[in-house]
Amino acid sequence: MGRLFGTDGVRGLANEKLSPQLATSLAEAAVHVLCDKDAVAGRRPVALIGRDSRASGEMLEAATIAGLLSAGADVLRVGVLPSPAVAHLVAEVGADLGVMLSASHNPMPDNGIKFFAAGGHKLSDEVEDELEANLATAWPRPVGGDIGRLRDLADGTERYIRHLVGTIDVDLTGLRVVVDCANGAATEVAPEALRRLGADVTAIHASPDGLNINDNCGSTHMASLRETVLSTGADIGFALDGDADRCLAVAADGSEVDGDAIMAILALHLRKSGGLADDTLVATVMSNLGLHHAMRENGISLVTTAVGDRYVLEALRAKNLSLGGEQSGHVVMPAYATTGDGTLTALHLAASAVESGRTIGELAAVVRRLPQVLLNVPVADKAIVESVEVKAVLDEQSVVLGDGGRILLRPSGTEPLVRVMVEADTAERAHAIADTVASVVRGG
């Protein structure tokens, strides 16, 4: 059996892989594993829990709360809020751990459960492994007055909105914005935060009914956002995902602004104000080579990590840096958040445009994206990437590419696949090299 935790918590089909029983067990184990015994000495630990708008979140919330209470933790319930809001509130109220129920950008039938340690930080692989190893532990359970108590944090939404707005000192009056809320967790907070800063906001896909989260909308389906930006004459459009920890954008001409371009815009803006620590940006190996070139041309160093925003977070914390993210739209600004925050990203991107006096399309042009091809190759054994044959074809094709491109092989963390990614100066060359490498991986 594979590892229960993936790149961002435990995720799967709700009421099947992710059952109420599993949620209860995970919650109970989390109280025992994550709570610092010295910190909670003489009192009950406190857990804060939020969820996205999926119908299954109601069921999993009840099961998770039961596990937390049965382990002796008091629970603060914040209801439907973005993942980064839960992380922020864990830190703000001084909770000992946080729980977010969401499958992010996945389709509605899926759901997920992820944990935050004290301070609102994501868990390391080692802590997740410890939590998983203790799922079957027969913990002693409190009784009587020692059982945890549940209450709602009534002002959680307002606290989070105030936090977001407080990170910006730029008046957005006159900026016409469209925000696609993905019928998800940021339906209330994202439009409100933008409006409080003065923006003229049109919100779309902002009517969650429990079943329509991410349904042909949000950061994975941007056609309707593009159409609305063009039809309304907006200056910029933002696309969030179901739990609003990522953000992509659309410029006034309808062109997409991906996570790489967003990171470049923010990096240059921060450096101009002296806020880019060590003139360094953190990105994952999946970022386009065009971002590397743009940063190098502008005197900014780029640190690369494995795929997953928590690896970006680890690098940011270890090196005390101020900006990082992923091509998919997870952007982390440690001065304001302990995790990727889509609404925060949208606010700062809007502020960058207003302060510069330039359009988002003009700012995004700093990244000249190289053609990229990604192939998912089915394999019997993902260890094939270490074979002599595969290493030989990688060496051979890397010579062909030279400094004008790159090849990346990445075994899938959840499926029997090897992902072959190639970037080159032309789409034709990228396709040809990807096909050559894939054929060796497939036949090796």
- Binding residue numbers for Mg(2+): 104, 241, 243, 245
37: left (phi over 0), alpha (psi -120 to 50) or beta: alpha
Q: Are strands 280-284 and 247-251 parallel, antiparallel or unpaired?
A: unpaired
What is the rounded distance in angstroms from the CA atom of residue 322 to the CA atom of residue 301?
Answer: 12
DSSP-based three-state secondary structure for 390: helix
Looking up tokens 């000495």 gives 41
| Residues annotated within a binding site | 104, 241, 243, 245
- Give the CA distances from residue 195 to residues 14, 156, 225, in Å, rounded to whole numbers and listed in that order: 35, 19, 18
Distance, first Cα to last Cα, the chain: 25
What letter does residue 123 receive in the DSSP assignment?
P
Q: Which amino acid is at 157?
A: T
Q: Which of 70, 83, 104, 219 is catalytic?
A: 104
Angle between helix 189-196 and 342-356 (nearest 10): 30
In this structure, which amino acid lies at residue 251? A
Taking the C-alpha atoms of residue 160 and residue 163, their distance in angstroms, rounded to an integer, is 5
Helices in 94-215 by DSSP H: which ranges? Answer: 125-133, 156-166, 189-196
Dist CA 87 CA 123 (whole Å): 12
By DSSP bridging, strand 74-80 and strand 97-101 are unpaired
- CA-based Rg of the chain, rounded to a whole angstrom? 22
Residue 238 corresponds to which tokens in the numbers above?
Answer: 């933002």
CA distance 48 to 88: 11
Q: Report DSSP state, residue 71.
A: T
Judge whether 178 and 234 are in contact, CB under 8 Å. yes
User: Does residue 287 have an active-site annotation?
Assistant: no
**307-331 as b/e, with b when 16 or more CB fall inside 10 Å?**
bbbbbbbbbbeeeebbbbbbbbbbb
DSSP letter, residue 18: B
Catalytic annotation, residues: 104
